[in-house]
Each structure stands twice: as C-alpha cells, then as structure tokens.
C-alpha cells in the first residue's frame, strides 16, 4: 500500500469520526437552541445547508488541487474544518450554528481532494479496491464517532464539537508533516477560472457521453441513499422510542458492518463478478432492505437488516470506480470534485424533501417513507440494462484483443 494512500485513509477516518461524533447529539442541540420548534425541519435544513456549500465549493477545491497539488488544498481545508467545529461548539444561538454549518460545508468539500489523491495512486486493477478501503475507513469512523459522541454528549452537548475540532487538528498535522504529494508536477493542469463554477463542472461531466448513463445511476442511488441520513435519528426516536445512546449505538453498528463489508467484500466480490455485476447485486440488496425497513415494527428488526444493507454498500465503490475509469489521470480532480458536487446537489434536495414528506405522514405510517426511497431504484433499471449491454460488448472486445 503506498504511504500516501495510508495517510489519506487515516485522514478520511479521522474526518468520519469527527462527523460521526456530532450526529447523535444534533437533534438534542437543535431542540435546546430552537426551543423545540420544528426540530425535524431544522435538521433537514441543517443537512441541506451543508450540502449546498459542498456543491458550491467541491469543484473549486478539486480544480485547485489539479493545479497546485492535493496536499496544499487539503491543508487549508482541514485547518478551516477545525476552526468550524470550535465555532459550532460555542454557538449561542441558531444563527451562529447555521453559520458554523456553512463553514463546515465549505471545508467538508475536502473529500473531493482526498478521493482524487486515492485515484492518483491507483490503477485499473486496484482502483475499486482502494475506493472500497476509503468507504471502509469512513465506516470505521462511524463506529468510533457516535460512541464518543454519546459518552461526551451526556456530559455536555458541546463537548463532541470540540473533540471533532481536535481530530481535524490531528489530520492537519498528518497532512503537514507526513502526507506526500500524489500529483506530480507534469500531470498538473493550468487553472481554468470558469471551472470553478459548480454548474460548469456539471456541464463538463454531462457533456461526456460515456459518463451520462453512469451519472444517472449515480444520482438516483445517491438520492435514495439520502433517506437514512435524513430521517434515521428522528424516525428511530419517533417509531421505536430510541434514546440518544441507542441512536449512537445504531450508527456504530452500521459503521462497523459497513467497514467490514467494504474492507473484506468489495475487492473479492468486484474481482469475481466484475464492477458492473457487483453494482447490480449491491443495488438490488439495498432496494430490498429499504422495503423491509418500511415494515419493521421492532428495534431488533432494524438491527438485523443492517447486515444485508451494509453488504449492499459494495455497489457504491463499484459505481465510483466505473466512473473514474472514463477519464484521464489529469482530469481526476475535476471529475471527483464534480461527483462530490452532484452528491451535494442531491443532498440539498433529499433531506428537505424527505423531512417535508415525513412531517406530513401519520406516525403509524412513518415507515412508508422507506418505500419512496426504494421506488427510486426502479428508475435505474433501464439505465442498468444499457450499461449491461455495454459491459458485454466491452468484454467481448477485450477477449478478442487478447
């Protein structure tokens, strides 16, 4: 494993820990600051504001990293993230908390740079595996983060934010003293100011015919995947009466299972089935799990479904790897920045839409929101058939060439 990959994975893990620390305590903090008025709506908007800033800033960081290298851009972003968590930890009112969330979205766009660094040190044979490892360490962060957040959140709702700030400080030091630059000078591109426009980056990826079907699947999958993140905490408290500690435990269980799946299953499954079949298998499993979540009436059912749901997560690095193979090395930063922008654009819409629908469902029918998310996968079917035919043709061509 390249040393730069190891450091980037560690930074991603620390970032996930910091993100996971604050999630379980956010509803309680919003209740405290907003006097328990429209907590679900505030939670949805809180997620969407973060995504909006990522949408605007990810292409900027991606393009800057293509011009100046991954390391300096990552350093600035990590320093900003550490400062942001301090601001949110000390926020006296909802306005300051939203300002902190805006800064968090700007600095959180560093995932585009981290993903580009991983693409830099990968090749066609191990790219899916390395992306799977990235998702795995992010999952490990979600194992550790909520547990820490639950413990320190019981002492004070502010402590988790300060711990997250310290973790970003550690990541900054790693990037400063240990991380090696992964993009050589000869592969860097001149900075195109127009590329900093997030909508231009979307036009750029949309103008490449080979990318379009992959991007449609990518967008639909990301939109469906917004449902758990938008309503897991609120819904589990409403439907099952979960405490803050149990919510944290569920995030940890999910993170552990996802880490195991991404670390030990993504590589072997992708190697055995190929990226396309791994994607189809993962999406099918996720869709079935969503349907079952809709009718889960007991807490143990939810925890039992986490196992197959996490197995379905193999689809995400497979899709990401398939998209990554469509562009050159010098375009990876712009591509990954555009993908993060797409994810952010979906995350702007998803939480607001899901929380709006959820607020209007009777409590006894709250589980139906999962069926809406599951239904989105149906829109993937025609596109997946097209990709399947392309995969068959490409395999035949490669076999003839061999």
Domain made up of 3-180+195-401: CATH architecture: Up-down Bundle (1.20)
* Residue carrying structure tokens 């900075």: 191
pLDDT band at 394 (very low <50, low <70, confident <90, very high): low
> Which among 71, 343, 358 is positioned nearest to 232, based on CA atoms?
358
Decide if pLDDT at 289 tops 90.
Answer: yes
**The pLDDT value given to residue 57:** 80
pLDDT band at 399 (very low <50, low <70, confident <90, very high): very low
> Is the distance from CB of 269 to CB of 262 less than 8 angstroms?
no
Angle (CA) 379-353-137 rounded to 5° is 75
361: left (phi over 0), alpha (psi -120 to 50) or beta: beta
- Domain boundaries in the chain? 3-180+195-401
**The pLDDT value given to residue 339:** 83
**Stretch 7-15: mean pLDDT:** 86
**Stretch 188-210: mean pLDDT:** 74
C-alpha distance from residue 19 to each of 63, 111, 112, 139 (Å): 25, 12, 16, 11
pLDDT band at 61 (very low <50, low <70, confident <90, very high): confident
Each residue of 341-385: pLDDT tens digit? 787 788 888 988 888 888 788 877 888 889 998 999 888 878 887
pLDDT higher at 38 or 30: 30
**Stretch 15-43: mean pLDDT:** 78
Each residue of 69-97: pLDDT tens digit? 889 988 988 888 888 889 888 888 888 88
> Is the distance from CB of 249 to CB of 150 less than 8 angstroms?
yes
**The pLDDT value given to residue 301:** 93
Cβ contacts of residue 290 below 8 Å, gap of 6+? 224, 227, 370, 371, 373, 374, 377
**The pLDDT value given to residue 305:** 92
Total-model pTM? 0.72
Each residue of 264-282: pLDDT tens digit? 888 888 888 888 888 889 9
How far is the C-alpha of 103 from the C-alpha of 161, rounded, in Å?
Answer: 14
Each residue of 114-162: pLDDT tens digit? 888 888 888 877 887 888 788 778 877 878 888 888 788 878 888 988 9
> Which among 307, 310, 311, 305 is positioned nearest to 292, based on CA atoms?
305
pLDDT higher at 15 or 109: 15
């Amino acid at each position: 494993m390249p040393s730069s990959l190891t450091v980037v994975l560690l930074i991603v893990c620390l970032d996930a820990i910091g993100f996971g620390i604050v999630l379980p305590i956010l509803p309680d903090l919003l209740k405290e600051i907003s006097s328990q008025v429209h907590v679900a709506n505030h939670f949805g908007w809180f997620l969407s504001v973060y995504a909006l800033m990522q949408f605007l800033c990810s292409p900027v960081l991606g393009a800057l990293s293509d011009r100046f290298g991954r390391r300096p851009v990552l350093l600035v972003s990590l320093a900003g993230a550490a400062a942001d968590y301090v601001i949110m930890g000390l926020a006296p009112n909802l306005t300051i908390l939203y300002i902190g969330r805006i800064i968090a979205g700007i600095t959180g766009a560093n995932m585009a740079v981290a993903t580009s660094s991983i693409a830099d040190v990968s090749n066609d044979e191990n790219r899916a595996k390395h992306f799977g490892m990235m998702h795995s360490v992010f999952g490990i962060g979600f194992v550790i983060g909520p547990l820490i957040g639950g413990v320190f959140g019981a002492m004070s709702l502010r402590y988790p934010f300060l711990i997250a700030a310290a973790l970003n400080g550690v990541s900054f030091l790693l990037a400063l003293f240990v991380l090696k630059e992964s993009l050589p000078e000869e592969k860097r591109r001149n900075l195109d100011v127009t590329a900093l426009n997030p909508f231009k980056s979307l036009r750029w990826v949309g103008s490449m015919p080979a990318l379009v079907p992959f991007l449609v699947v990518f967008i639909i999958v990301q939109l469906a995947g917004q449902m758990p993140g938008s309503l897991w905490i609120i819904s589990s408290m409403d439907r099952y009466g979960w405490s803050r500690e149990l919510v944290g435990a569920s995030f940890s269980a999910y993170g552990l299972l996802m880490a195991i799946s991404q670390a030990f299953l993504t590589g072997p499954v992708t190697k055995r089935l190929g990226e396309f079949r791994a994607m189809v298998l993962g999406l099918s499993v996720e869709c079935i799990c969503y349907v079952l979540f809709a009718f889960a009436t007991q807490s143990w059912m939810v925890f039992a479904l986490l196992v197959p749901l996490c197995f379905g997560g193999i689809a995400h690095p497979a899709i990401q790897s398939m998209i990554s193979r469509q562009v050159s090395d010098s375009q990876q930063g712009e591509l990954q920045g555009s993908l993060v922008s797409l994810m952010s654009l979906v995350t702007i819409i998803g939480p607001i839409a899901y929380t709006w629908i959820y607020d209007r469902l009777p409590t006894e029918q709250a589980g139906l929101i999962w069926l809406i998310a599951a239904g989105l996968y149906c829109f993937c079917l025609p596109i997946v058939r097209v990709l399947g035919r392309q995969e068959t043709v490409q395999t035949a061509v490669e076999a003839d060439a061999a």
